[in-house]
Chain A
């Protein structure tokens, strides 16, 4: 089957991180979708492929076409793999558009984790109220939290690879270094009352913040915010007529992982999604200018960078030390919008990775890497310590 190239042609990030109960996830999705279509120079009528992970409503494949007012859909995809849903959806959209099944895809996301007091991040609690299943029956009684799950990975990491808390803290410091340059992130930090205001932070400040679940400190955990956004993808013939410069989907990779008897929880499914995406794109990690890597916690980034091949396993510390991944130091730049640690995290942040990577390749980031040509968006959904998904997308410009 002949395939066409596929590009991201429209993006929008919903600006508010604290909506005070005035909007719903559906409202955020539709608002963002309309702005992203405007960005591309397209309209609702052009959309014939819809991707939705079901935030804010059950059975999204039934409800969202109606809510948006989309009457001519040829593809509907409700892939739900937590925060990596959007990287998986881009992979599916690239295939659907590339093979001619459809021509314009809409991905959108909206959540009100802050206003709705959701149980994510540092607010995590487990209260499974659905029917019992073997997993909930074996795990819920232990009262582990999302932070404690990732903390068990961090603990094992330190034991096995010699990674230090100082090295993990550097990831939070870099995120804040970028957030202070992003007006939406600065407003988020102020609106949500994050520590140390809209200022840069130090490794010492990260390590002296409250221990939430050993060895993870408060400033190593993502914020809990409202927010959302939308991404429009188009087949090459449509993309060439859009208002924006196309940001090409060069490669994608999808993988899932789960803890196993005797398995190594420090190794993630990025070891499979990364090579698949880089291989398809015909590039290597050394070629990448900007890495947008899901930062639910500092350890999420450390494990992903290593498993994607930006350095050898256990050597991520050397990569992140001394601002090594700041936008204004040579080489790779990390999470240039401020990330989930310092810009926004409504629960499933994968769409923001795509949006900021696109901004970088358009030259529109608030922490712009000079002449950025290649970027990745790497989502980690679910819970690294238990069951999760890894989705990698390689993006490039003309």
Chain B
């Protein structure tokens, strides 16, 4: 068995808090994260029934096909719900508080957990609300990049 990979990003500058990042090998999600290096937001479509599959998996959740193809999203969507995390005990997220976690319904038909970035959650005019249109805003982390979203004004 391979050595257990570090749970944190070792490429961050020493003064920057170490972030939680996806770990590999993990064959289902590895192609998704590989594409983030090019700022591509990818999802899967079933070759047999054309159903959208997300999060990434090796089988179609709509039919019994195990043949899926990757597509690239335009990176636009709508806030389905959100919350402002004001208390986190995780050392990697302490300095981010308050931060906005959200499910975003991406236009191609999948729902993604993400952060709404570049927004003041306590500003009543921030535009942060269910139904707000959002656009992907990459959070670069070196080894992989995280698809955050910002309000599309």
Contacts and interface: CB of A to CB of B under 8 A. Distances in A.
B55 A138 contact: yes
Nearest to B105: A262
Given A141-B22, A261-B111, A262-B111, A214 B90 contact: no
Contact of B93 (A137, A143, A216): A143
Interface in B13-52: 19-26, 28-29, 32-33, 52
A142 B115 contact: yes
Contacts of B25: 132
Contacts of A144: 83, 85, 101, 113
Contact of A152 (B54, B83, B88): B83
Nearest to A221: B87
Contacts of A134: 26, 28-29, 55-57
B82 interface: yes
Interface string B72-113: 000000001111111111101100100101110100011101
A139 to B, nearest CB: 5
Nearest to B23: A132
A261 B109 contact: yes
Interface in A75-134: 119, 122-129, 131-134
B119 interface: no
B86 A212 contact: yes
A140 B22 CA distance: 8
Nearest to B80: A156
A219 to B, nearest CB: 14
Given A143-B92, A262-B109, A156 B29 contact: no
B120 to A, nearest CB: 13
A206 to B, nearest CB: 16
Nearest to A122: B87
Contact of A155 (B26, B28, B54, B83): B83
A135 interface: yes
A142 B22 contact: no
B7 A127 contact: yes
A232 interface: no
Contacts of B54: 261
A347 to B, nearest CB: 15
Contacts of A261: 52, 54, 105, 109-111
Contact of A142 (B24, B80, B113, B121): B113
A144 B92 CA distance: 11
Contacts of B26: 132-134, 137
Nearest to B58: A134
Interface of A: 119, 122-129, 131-145, 147-149, 151-153, 155-156, 159, 210-216, 259-263, 265, 385
6 contacts: A132-B23, A137-B23, A138-B22, A145-B87, A214-B121, A261-B105
Given A138-B32, A260-B111, 4 more contacts: A125-B88, A137-B23, A144-B113, A265-B103
